[in-house]
Structure 1
Amino acid sequence: MRLHVALLRGLNVGGANALPMAELRRLCEGLGWQGVQSHLASGNLIFEAEKERGTLAGALSGALAERGLDVPVLVLPPGEIRRAVTACPFAPAEPRLVHAGFLFGPESLDRPLFERFAAPGDEVAAAQGLLWLHTPGGFGRSKLAPRLEAIAGAPLTARNLSSLGKLVQMLDAREETR
């Protein structure tokens, strides 16, 4: 069995696509996934399975659709989460102020759009399937947050560095027991 990370886009955000994590874990176990662990209620999963990432993502997205939830899913190898943490181009005062957007397609960074809505100190970068956004004034207050996909030029699901760091800790603990 190979270890994977699933990032679910738009699950339990603003009351939309609501699903308790215990139910999500049971749903994944019903797909044959093993050792399913979740982090936060926003759809961060670690699990073991043999199938290819695209097949796994499609299976979970389909199972969620059967429950009436429109939730795109990215399944990534653990190395992609680690790379996202170590490749961060910014040195934030707080990890929660930097978000890594994991892209569902190739990026086409729209820097003029970023510049139009950026607050002083905001920074953006894109590389290797990731869009980085540093919002020192706070992501929730940022005018960039609702425009993130337009800036990236592709659909994405974003996680802050704090959440990614916790996923890395979970992966490390899991790999130590394998």
Structure 2
Amino acid sequence: MITHLVLLRGINVSGHNMIKMDALKKALENIGFQNVRTYIQTGNVFIDTEEKNGGSVGFQIKQEIFKIFGHEVPVIVIGKSDLEACFNNNQFLKDKECDTKKLYVAFISKELADGAMNDLKMSQVKPDEAQIDSSRIFIKYAVGAGKTKFDQKYIEKKLSVTATIRNWNTVTKLLEMYDAS
């Protein structure tokens, strides 16, 4: 069995795309996923399956969510090694004074090209900062996530990708849960 972390974008946020976690868990179990576990209400789901391909897992889940709940929800599936790399490669953590409450990670649907940082046009969102690492963007917000133009929609538009953003506390908890499974 392989454990995958499934990140659903835009569910249960501001009353949109409402899905109860118990109903989601049952729906995923009904299509053959095992040991389905969720973390908070915003679309963090661990599943066990024989399927190795994360893209295939994501496609199945996206289809089932649409079929059962009627929501078109972007899905990104990552493995434990991806999440561990997230911790090892976040250069913002080298600053001992860094406020982790202002750190976020945008998980991207594909590996980013070398020129992706230029495509982000960070001068338009200063003083927010970003660093790209493969299929992740590490974000350090100057004020906070609620007061920035540098959000998931901005990233998706500039890079032509699907993205979902998690705060650093959530990323930390998800790795703890991966380690426990």
How high is the TM-score relative to the length of structure 1? 0.88
Contact kept, 8 Å, 1:95 with 1:161, in 2: the verdict is: yes
Query: RMSD of the TM alignment (CA)?
Result: 1.8
- Residue aligning to 1:3: 3
SS of 1:37's partner is strand
Say whether 1:116 aligns with 2:135: no
Number of aligned pairs?
Answer: 172
Q: CA deviation at 1:111?
A: 5.4
1:136-175 C-alpha deviation (Å, 9 max, x unpaired): 311111122252323444221111111010011111111x
Q: What corresponds to 1:144 in structure 2?
A: 150
Say if 2:165 is the partner of 1:163.
no
Is 1:69 the counterpart of 2:75? The answer is: no
Structure 1 unaligned residues grouped into runs of 5+: none
What is aligned with 1:134?
140
In 2: Cα distance, 1:44 partner to 1:109 partner: 27
Q: Which amino acid aligns with 2:38?
A: S
Question: Quick check: 2:3–2:79 contact (8 Å CA) kept in 1?
Answer: yes
The structure carrying a bigger helix percent of its residues is: 2
Contact 1:5 1:45 in 2 (8 A): yes
Q: Which blocks of at least 5 consecutive residues in structure 2 are unaligned?
A: none
> Conserved in 1, the CA contact under 8 Å of 2:74 and 2:162?
no
Superposition misfits of 4+ residues, deviation over 6 angstroms = none
Q: Following the alignment from structure 1 to structure 2, what is the Cα–Cα distance between the partners of residues 53 and 82?
A: 16
Query: Structure 1 residue 14: deviation in Å?
Result: 2.1
CA separation in 1, counterparts of 2:111 and 2:46? 24
Q: Which amino acid aligns with 2:138?
A: W
Give the equivalent residue in structure 1 for 2:89: 87
Give me the identity figure in percent: 24
**Residue range with higher mean Cα deviation, 102-111 or 50-59:** 102-111
- Aligned-residue offset at 1:93: 3.1
> Which shifted more, 92-101 or 32-41?
92-101
Residue 159 to residue 112, structure 1, CA distance change in 2 (3 Å) = closer
**Distance in 2 between the 1:18 and 1:69 partners?**
9
Q: TM-score when scaled to structure 2?
A: 0.87
Q: CA–CA distance in 2 between the matches of 1:93 and 1:152?
A: 27
Asked if structure 1 preserves the Cα contact closer than 8 Å seen for 2:65 and 2:72, the reply is yes
**Any idea what SS the aligned residue of 1:166 has?**
helix
